[in-house]
Amino acid sequence: MRFLPKDEGFFGLFDQLSARLKSSAALLKDLFSQPQRLEELTKAIKAEEHAADQLTYEIMQRIDRSFVTPLDREDIHLLANRLDNVVDLMDGTARRAKMYHIDRQQAAAIALTDVLVECSAVLTAGVKDIRKPAEVHKAARKVKELEEKADAIYSDAIESLFSGKPDALEVIKWKEILDNLEHAVDECEDVANVLESISLKNS
């Protein structure tokens, strides 16, 4: 069996980056559960997004500075960017909510952020377990199940949104927000797939 060399530099940065994913998801759930805190929570999510960008930049810089890396350079680059992409999507969703002056709860948005919170927790654990292919495989399977759950929530929500005689502006803003949330969950599945590929390659 081939063991990954110990490198707290890269692995520590990945742990920090996945933690930003987890905290962003929790904040986004709060935003849609407590829309009266929209301004405060949008700023908090932006701060997480900025921190994730800085961590991603540091990972890229470390790739350039390192003669030997514990994983393939391309894999390090890919995993960092995929994690950062999810945080970017959550920040973008929060900004859309603020731009559209969201002032009420919407059940599907809350349900999708619940899924994002679960996905982020599973991915955070998966990143920590990158040296354990069996654990990463379990994490990837769980994220796939969550992605399928999100697809069902999204489909039902869109059908409900267009039923009856909906207000056009409400449809426009909520469809875009739900699209973004569903996309973020899809990106979580991409992260899980990348993580599993890296873990298997280095086992």
Question: pTM of the full predicted structure?
Answer: 0.92
Tell me the CATH class for 9-201: mainly alpha
pLDDT at 6: 46
The 10s digit of each residue's pLDDT in 129-141 is 998 999 999 999 9
Domain extent listing, the chain: 9-201
pLDDT at 3: 40
In angstroms, the CA 112 to CA 108 distance is: 6
**Short-list 95, 92, 72, CA closest to 84:** 92
166: which residues sit within 8 A by CB, 6+ positions away?
Answer: none
pLDDT at 71: 80
The 10s digit of each residue's pLDDT in 73-96 is 898 999 999 999 999 999 999 999
HSE-CB for 191 with a 13 A CA cutoff: 33
